[in-house]
């Protein structure tokens, strides 16, 4: 008898009791639980892992607390440029989108690219054009506006800091947060899937693309091994081809999911200087959620288990 399981994350970074108020903590926990519930609802009804990770990521995109969709941070030009990806483990099908604006749910667009475009990765204005052709829902700039994130941008916009992660305090060393959301799932049919979505970095410039929409780096799924969704300093995750490396360590070297994920998060990325975390699930429904930063918004739900939602180490 097959089982199902789902895990999600809402970003990693300098997240500790000192940087979050009790009220914020409750809001984050409630947002993570709602996303898990949205995903589990699909899995319980024998739906696909693809539909489940899409539903979970959409819930996080629609929550202004997380840096994806509605809560996307501001670029240097005070716009929102969002990236997302989705991958299915059964046939290694994948879709991804980069640098789109005004799309309510970028992960849905990644899904449409996988299902209908004949391509894997579409970017920028061209991707927006594809979304219009597919009758996607667009939102006005207002929908994505938050005073808090706008203030974050204004604080650093005129500095040379082009790669700062969004901060939550006025301290000279503001907490780093790698704002990304993601989900991985195993469905009752035995299929794995992964999805990731992000608004990128506050004050990002030059059309920078991180690891989120890079298949094999921030997002990867393969029924033989695992499904992975990452959050962290994207450049390191691209160079280390994190998602696919975990899969290869399992397939070619015989490591378990946990061993392979720990090898990346606590050794390879650490040695390169890459901070962040990831969530992984294997074909048996084992889940691991390692990170080398102070905290990571994360949660999981297995078929016969309780909801698990955690923030700190």
- Among 58, 65, 110, 122, the residue binding a copy of itself under the rule CB under 8 A is 122
CA distance 74 to 3: 40
Site for a copy of itself in 49-78 (CB under 8 A): none
- Among 26, 78, 92, 270, the residue binding a copy of itself under the rule CB under 8 A is 92
Comparing CA positions, the residue from 183, 149, 201 lying closest to residue 280 is 183
For 257-312, give the DSSP string. HHHHHHIIIIIIHHHHT--EEEEEEETT--EE--BSSSEEEEEEEETTS--EEEEE
- Listed ranges 54-62, 146-154, 173-181, 248-256: which one lies at the site for a copy of itself (CB under 8 A): 248-256
Give me the 178-207 binding string for a copy of itself, x by CB under 8 A, dash otherwise: ---------------------------xxx
CA distance 9 to 70: 16
- Among 15, 249, 287, 300, the residue binding a copy of itself under the rule CB under 8 A is 249
- Among 28, 220, 291, 297, the residue binding a copy of itself under the rule CB under 8 A is 220
CB 123 within 8 A of CB 129: no
- Listed ranges 32-40, 50-58, 65-73, 212-220: which one lies at the site for a copy of itself (CB under 8 A): 212-220
Backbone φ and ψ of 9, nearest 5°: -140, 155
> Which one from 50, 180, 196, 231 is the annotated catalytic residue?
180
Taking the CB of residue 217, how many other CB atoms lie within 10 A of it?
A: 26
**Judged by CB under 8 A, does residue 118 bind a copy of itself?**
yes
CA distance 166 to 164: 6
* Residue 50 annotated among the catalytic residues of the structure: no
The binding site for a copy of itself (CB under 8 A) comprises 92-94, 98-99, 117-127, 129-130, 162-163, 205-210, 214-217, 220, 234-235, 238-241, 244-245, 248-249, 252-253, 272
Residues marked as catalytic? 180
């Amino acid at each position: 008898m097959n089982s199902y399981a789902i895990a999600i994350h809402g970003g990693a970074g300098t997240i500790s009791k000192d940087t979050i108020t009790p009220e914020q903590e409750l809001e984050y926990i409630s947002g993570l639980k709602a996303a898990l519930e949205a995903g589990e609802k699909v899995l319980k009804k024998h739906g696909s892992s693809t539909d489940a990770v899409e539903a979970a990521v959409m819930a996080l995109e629609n929550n202004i607390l997380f840096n994806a969709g509605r809560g996307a941070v501001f670029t240097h030009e005070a716009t929102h440029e969002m990236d997302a990806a989705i991958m299915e483990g059964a046939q290694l099908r994948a879709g991804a989108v980069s640098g789109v604006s005004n799309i309510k749910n970028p992960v849905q667009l990644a899904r449409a690219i996988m299902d209908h475009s004949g391509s894997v990765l579409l970017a920028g204005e061209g991707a927006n054009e594809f979304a219009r052709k597919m009758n996607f829902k667009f939102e006005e700039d207002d929908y994505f506006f938050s005073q808090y994130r706008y203030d974050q941008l204004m604080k650093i916009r005129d500095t040379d800091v082009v790669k700062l992660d969004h901060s939550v305090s006025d301290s000279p060393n503001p907490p780093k947060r790698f704002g990304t959301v993601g989900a991985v799932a195993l469905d009752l049919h035995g299929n794995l899937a992964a999805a990731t979505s992000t608004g990128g970095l506050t004050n990002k410039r030059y059309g920078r693309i991180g690891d989120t929409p890079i298949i094999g780096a921030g997002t990867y799924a393969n029924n033989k091994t695992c499904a992975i969704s990452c959050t962290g300093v994207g450049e390191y995750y691209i160079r280390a081809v994190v998602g696919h490396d975990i899969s290869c360590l399992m397939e070619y070297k015989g490591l378990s999911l946990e061993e392979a994920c720990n090898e990346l998060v606590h050794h390879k990325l650490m040695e390169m200087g890459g901070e962040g975390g990831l969530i992984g699930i294997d074909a048996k429904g084992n889940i691991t959620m390692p990170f080398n930063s102070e905290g990571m918004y994360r949660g999981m739900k297995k078929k016969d288990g309780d909801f698990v939602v955690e923030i700190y180490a």
